[in-house]
Amino acid sequence: MSRMTSEPGPYYHRPLLDPQLQPFLEATDEAIAASELDRLLAGPLASVILDSVRRELGGSFRGAEHIEDVAADVRFRLVRKLMWLRTSDRDPAGENAIANLSAYAAVTAERACYAFLRRQFPERTRFRNRVRYVLSHQKSIRFEAGPDNVWRASSAVMRNAPAGGSTVKFIEDPVQWLHERRVDSSQPLPGLVTAVFLQLDRPIEFDRLVNALAAALGIVETGPSRTADGDDARNEPADPAPAIAEVLEQRESLEAVWREIEQLPARQRAALLLNLRDPEGGAVLQMLPATGVVSLASIAAALEISKEELVELWQRLPLDDLCIAEQLGITRQQVINLRKSARARLARRLRENPS
């Protein structure tokens, strides 16, 4: 019997790391790392993110209004991942490696869009999932993504059908189209989809199909009206202290929020910013330079410290209250009180001057 070994076998392939990440991950200075991160997000990756979000949300007139904000959310998700790769003790070329940054960004964008649609339009999202399931399980329907990464559905019948404009008419007025062709819209969804595809003359984009079927069945895009507990969200009391990290992640709000932060008293700014965390517990300050709105110099000025002092603090962020107290020469309770006051003032100012 051969001796067991922990060494990789001859067919073991170690995950590769996208070479364009190396300058960021290997930067020995945090200011340089921030600059490299900004370079990554401002290059071709910016187009990949925006194009991916547009492709997912462009088919919905309500979703299209939020393309820029969702793209900003994608950028922050990427920043979190990249910062984790840089600061984690794990090998960045190991099992969590990003072998293709553009492909990773596209997948991240797709997931962010789905999360947005599920949150904003729960009924339509559930219907969209039902239609996808039907298309994926109908042997007579071909459902696949094209070279442009847009999902389309077609059937064998279409290949021999004359170009009479049936698909275009279905998209433009699905209710009238079903009536004219005597298709029963009350039948179960699999039967309805099959009946529709028997009379379409061209492949149809998935989101256009979902829009047409939703219109025909009276499924309207509506915003979320209920919380996870089933209560009407409009009846919930407003939170007097907004989730500052979430506000900062909205592209259109960032400049306005930062201006308000700069107007806070110095100690309130420090108590708030040095402890500011994202939902995963990471330091929000470490992400801000990547937005192009708030620079390292601006952060240092807000904290009333030098850029060199900020770089020394960078890897320790976010600081706990005892560390902030030591930094400011005050007590821990005073830090808590200062941050509470800062949040209350920000909440009031943001309500008075919404961006």
Q: Is residue 9 in some structural domain?
A: no
pLDDT of residue 163: 59
Domain assignment present for residue 226? The answer is no
Regarding whether 341 and 269 lie in a shared domain, the answer is yes
Instruction: In whole angstroms, give the CA distance from residue 310 to residue 175.
Output: 62
Whole-angstrom Cα distance, residue 132 to residue 99?
A: 29
Enumerate the β-bridge partners of residue 151: 145
What is residue 230's predicted lDDT score, i.e. its pLDDT?
Answer: 40
**Inter-residue contact 117 to 70 (CB < 8 Å):** no
Asked whether residue 175 carries a pLDDT value surpassing 80, the answer given is: yes
Q: Which residue has the higher pLDDT, 200 or 69?
A: 200
**10 found inside a domain:** no
Clarify whether residues 253 and 341 are in a common domain: yes
CA 299, distance to chain mean position in Å, is: 25
My answer on whether 273 and 182 are in the same domain is no
Instruction: Judge contact between 310 and 299, C-beta under 8 A.
Output: yes
Query: Is residue 113 scored above 90 in pLDDT?
Result: no
Number of domains in the chain: 3
Q: Name the more confident of 64 and 140.
A: 140
Residue 24 and residue 113 in one domain = yes
Boundary (domain end) residue, out of 69, 102, 120: 120
Q: How confident is the model at residue 335 (pLDDT cuts 50, 70, 90)?
A: very high
Domain membership of residue 230 (yes or no) is no
Which residues does residue 153 pair with via DSSP β-bridges, in sequence order?
Answer: 143, 204
Q: Which two tokens stand for residue 115?
A: 């999360």
- Please classify residue 79 by burial: count the beta carbons closer than 10 Å to its beta carbon, then call 0-12 exposed, 13-18 middle and 19+ buried: buried
Question: Does residue 8 fall inside a structural domain?
Answer: no
Instruction: Tell the burial category of 288 from Cβ atoms under 10 Å away from its Cβ (0-12, 13-18, 19+).
Output: buried
Together in a domain, 102 and 158: no
Whether 131 and 116 map to the same domain: the answer is no
pLDDT of the residue at 291: 64
pLDDT: which is higher, 145 or 161: 145
Which residues are paired to 142 by β-bridges? 154
How far apart CA 34 and CA 287 sit, in angstroms, is: 9
Tell whether 142 and 96 lie within a shared domain.
no
Q: For residue 12, is it within any domain?
A: no
Look at residue 334 in the predicted model and tell me its pLDDT: 93
195 pLDDT band, cuts 50/70/90, is: very high
* The last residue of a domain, from among 67, 102, 120: 120
Predicted confidence at residue 8, as pLDDT, reads 43
Asked whether residue 102 falls in the same domain as residue 128, the answer is no
At residue 96, what are phi and psi to the nearest 5 degrees? -100, 20
Q: What angle do CA 305, 306, 308 make, to 5 degrees?
A: 130
* Residue where a domain stops, chosen among 167, 199, 217: 217
In a domain, 176, yes or no: yes
Confidence of residue 61 (pLDDT cuts 50, 70, 90): low
In this structure, the answer to whether residues 107 and 153 fall within a common structural domain is no
| Averaged pLDDT score across all residues of the chain | 77
Residue at 222 is within a domain: no
Determine the Cα–Cα distance for residues 279 and 245; give it in Å rounded to an integer: 8
**Same domain, yes or no: 115 and 197:** no
Average pLDDT over residues 124-153: 84
Tell me the mean pLDDT in the region 233-256.
48
Average of pLDDT values for 131-144? 88
Residue 194 falls in which region: left (phi positive, over 0), alpha (psi -120 to 50) or beta? alpha
Judge if 250 and 319 occupy the same domain.
yes
CA-CA distance, 218 to 221, in Å (whole number)?
10
303/40: higher pLDDT: 303
Position of tokens 């979430």?
246
One domain, residues 196 and 287: no
Query: For the CA atoms of the chain, what is the radius of gyration?
Result: 26
Domain, as residue range, for 346: 244-352
